[in-house]
Structure 1
Amino acid sequence: MLAWARGLGLVADAFEEKRLVAMRLGAFACLTVPRASAGDLALTAQWAAFICLVDDRFDRSRTEVRPKEVAALFDRLLDVVTSGAAGTGSGTEQALDDLWRRTAPRMSARWRERFVADYRDFALATCEEAAGRADGVRLGLSDYVVRRRRTITALPMADILECTAGAPWPGLPGGEDLVRSLRQAAADVAGWTNDLVSAEEDLREDRDNLVTVLSRARGCPLSSAHEQVTLMRNDRIRDFHSLAASLTTMAGPGTGPDAVRRYVAALGQFVSATLHWLGVTDRFDARWSRERPGACH
């Protein structure tokens, strides 16, 4: 994975290379798609690296994030997945172009539309977040929860797993809303667990985080807010498993039960892997939080 990221210019220097290694995304991929081929394990890890590094250009740097630069970057990235316009762009664009060319042709037109829609929504939410940060806007609890589901990039990653786990969105009459609810629960678990792990760093860097937002909204100490967010996250895990059971039950004869079970199992594996990985990754280690030039390049 490091050779891939270095070769395409996704990592700019030795500092970013060491940070990428510290993320342990190879281990994340092995936990997420344990029965995948070596090629699909690598593809999963590389997509995760791309997603984390793009996100970290905004959140793990003390360099001022300018909303116009954020919007311009995402315009270029969306051009890659809609028109193949990587050209001679940045390493970020070249990496996405490489990933897209190795993933999209294997999937249906409907999948491609869904991935683009999910990534576009992530981009829009990130731009909204950047603008709010520049303007000093502090979200309320309910608004933060909605936006966090969009900025965590769990939905685009879930799309990728349809490919690398061999578990495409199941065609289940009457079950589309339930599939969407399952995906949203997975995204919430990922986002809220991420915030629990990164709470100390986010507080130090004066970034909104579910722990600090809840503390502000309820007027309670951060230690209490941390406990409350943990309970929220645990309840959301139970929601996920309840939705998964309901979806599996709906898949009766003639509705592709095997496809439904594969999809539910793949998302369940993603949730389990994310919970484990966020407990062992060094992505949020303080040594990676220092001024980095060119955050949005």
Structure 2
Amino acid sequence: MAKSKKKQQNPPKTVQVIDPRWLLKMLGLTIGAAFVCAYLAMGAMIYMGAWQLVLHPTRNANGGTGLASEKLRFGPDTSGQPQLSGEWITANDESPRASYAVIYLRGADGQLDAADGTQIAALRDLGLNVLAFDYRGYGNSAQRPHPSQERMLADAVSAWEYLTGTRHIQPNHILVFGSGIGASIGTQLLQSYGPGAGLIAYNADPSVETRVRADARVLLYPMSVVFHDGFPLDGLKHLAAPKLLYTVGPLDKARTAIYQGAADPKLTVEVPTHDAAVEKAALARFLDSTLPGGPVPVLAPTTK
């Protein structure tokens, strides 16, 4: 009889035990990766929307200066379509300053409106033509792209080219009026294309970066990463053009330092409250001191 074969037994299975330290490590890495992704995503959102911390455009179809003017579309893009909506406010043809024009660069909020019209009317009444417009993203100008320091400067360049190319205004007959951050845009414009006939800086805004730094949404991120539009005024130190540096309200430390460091010739005027008559008188004094045919320029003293 054949011997029965002994049934072979399988060796016992070894149970693999996961080291809990490895689990904790993987959990920590997962949580860390999720935190980094969330941090970067939030930073990207802040970066894309940081311009709204400073610039607050409106798009009221019924906006405008309210003055008698020629409505304009200029500043074509690569397709040839004009991107900027503006107004040409004409001076009296008999004015000795009728060959001069002002590029009116408004501030960060709203769009061209009646308040701008009041300031523009003062310039017109003093014998100057005025080109006023809304930056892209504002008013009736192109809705996109959104405004930024770089794009607003490009829009100001378009205004300069419109005056010199279409209106045939001589570069040395162009003044720039900049209100708020418009003073920074105007300074940069004249540094590249000027000196022109002069710069009027109305309530220049030196505190853009300070305001952004104070916003809780950007405290966790380097400013150089999330915000690039500081609207600097350092160029005033080197700008040779005659300057009217005008402030309504208290002259704070930051603006005082900027104005004191501005290159001559300059006229600094500070008034406690809005006063149309005083503002117009300051403009008249500045224009009489700088444009040909006026008194001998003496712009260094400060009026308070």
What is the TM-score when the length of structure 1 is the normalising length? Answer: 0.28
Greater C-alpha Rg? 2
What is the TM-score when the length of structure 2 is the normalising length? Answer: 0.27
Identify, as 1 or 2, the structure richer in strand: 2
Q: Which of the pair has the greater relative contact order for Cα pairs under 8 Å at 6+ separation? A: 1
